[in-house]
């Protein structure tokens, strides 16, 4: 179970690292991504 949590944390940090530069360039893309995300 601990391994799954660690994986989710790593995936989330990777996602944030990938989204940050995009958000700096174009806000509409991030707004669409947030609205589409379940």
CA distances from 38 to 5, 21, 24, 26, 32 (A): 20, 22, 23, 21, 12
Q: Please count the other Cβ atoms lying within 10 Å of the Cβ belonging to residue 9.
A: 10
pLDDT at 26: 57
pLDDT at 11: 83
**pLDDT (tens place) for every residue of the chain, 38 residues total:** 688 988 888 888 877 777 666 555 655 655 666 667 66
Q: What is the reported pTM?
A: 0.45
Of 8, 30, 36, nearest in space to 18 by CA: 30
Q: What is the 3-state secondary structure (H, E, C) of 1-38?
A: CHHHHHHHHHHHHHHHHHHHHHHHHCHHHHHHHHHHCC
């Amino acid at each position: 179970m601990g391994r799954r949590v660690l994986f989710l944390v790593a995936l989330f940090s990777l996602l944030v690292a990938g989204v940050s530069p995009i958000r700096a360039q174009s806000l509409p893309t991030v707004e669409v991504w947030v609205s589409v995300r379940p």
